[in-house]
Amino acid sequence: MALINTIEHQGIIVQISDSIIKVKVERTSACASCHSKGACSLTETEDRIIDITSNSKDFSIGEEVVVSLSPKSGLLSLMLGYILPLIVFLSSLATASLFLKSEIIIGIYSILAIITYYFILSLLNKKINKALNIQIKKLQ
């Protein structure tokens, strides 16, 4: 069994400004290739715009490219986007329930903890983007 070296998706460049390239990548669910997806309401396909820091002189708008991410970076984004917020929510819920009696106040406290988490995440956006190291290359 071979190890995955990179996670790759094809996309189209939609905007270029200074050192930021915006690439539209179509995200599809696992059953998107199913022959009966037209009759099924469970399939989900959505376009996602990814900001990539790169030398924009090498690319042009409308060009098809491959966006790649290392598995380590994929795990980091999974941790930051899903696992840590769940831990923050559940731990704030448990902590608040020890000290507070009102369920409404406990719920509000937990939601505020999640809002604070995502606010801090947005402040660290540049550092996170550097750590993720998303690469872009021309489609061959």
Whether the pTM exceeds 0.95: the reply is no
Q: Is residue 88 part of a domain?
A: yes
Q: Is residue 117 part of a domain?
A: yes
Q: Is residue 94 part of a domain?
A: yes
What pLDDT, on the 0 to 100 scale, is given for residue 65? Answer: 87
What pLDDT, on the 0 to 100 scale, is given for residue 56? Answer: 65
Q: How many domains does the chain have?
A: 1
Those residues with Cβ within 8 angstroms of residue 7's Cβ, 6 or more apart along the chain or in another chain? 68, 69, 70, 71, 74
Q: What is the identity of the amino acid at 93?
A: L
Q: Residues 96-131: pLDDT tens digits?
A: 999 999 999 999 999 999 999 999 999 998 888 778
Q: Is residue 71 part of a domain?
A: yes
Q: Is residue 35 part of a domain?
A: no
pLDDT band at 41 (very low <50, low <70, confident <90, very high): very low
Q: Is residue 67 part of a domain?
A: yes
Q: Residues 42-97: pLDDT tens digits?
A: 445 677 888 887 766 778 888 888 888 888 888 888 899 899 999 999 999 999 99
Q: What is the CATH number of the domain that holds 12?
A: 2.40.50
Please give the average per-residue pLDDT across 4-20, as a whole number.
Answer: 81
Q: Is residue 103 part of a domain?
A: yes
HEC letters along 66-125: EEEECHHHHHHHHHHHHHHHHHHHHHHHHHHHHHCCCHHHHHHHHHHHHHHHHHHHHHCH
What pLDDT, on the 0 to 100 scale, is given for residue 85? Answer: 95
Q: Is residue 36 part of a domain?
A: no
- For residue 81, the enclosing domain spans 7-30+44-138
Q: Contact at 8 Å (CB) between 66 and 135?
A: no
Q: Residue 81: beta bridge partners? A: none
SS3 state at 137? strand
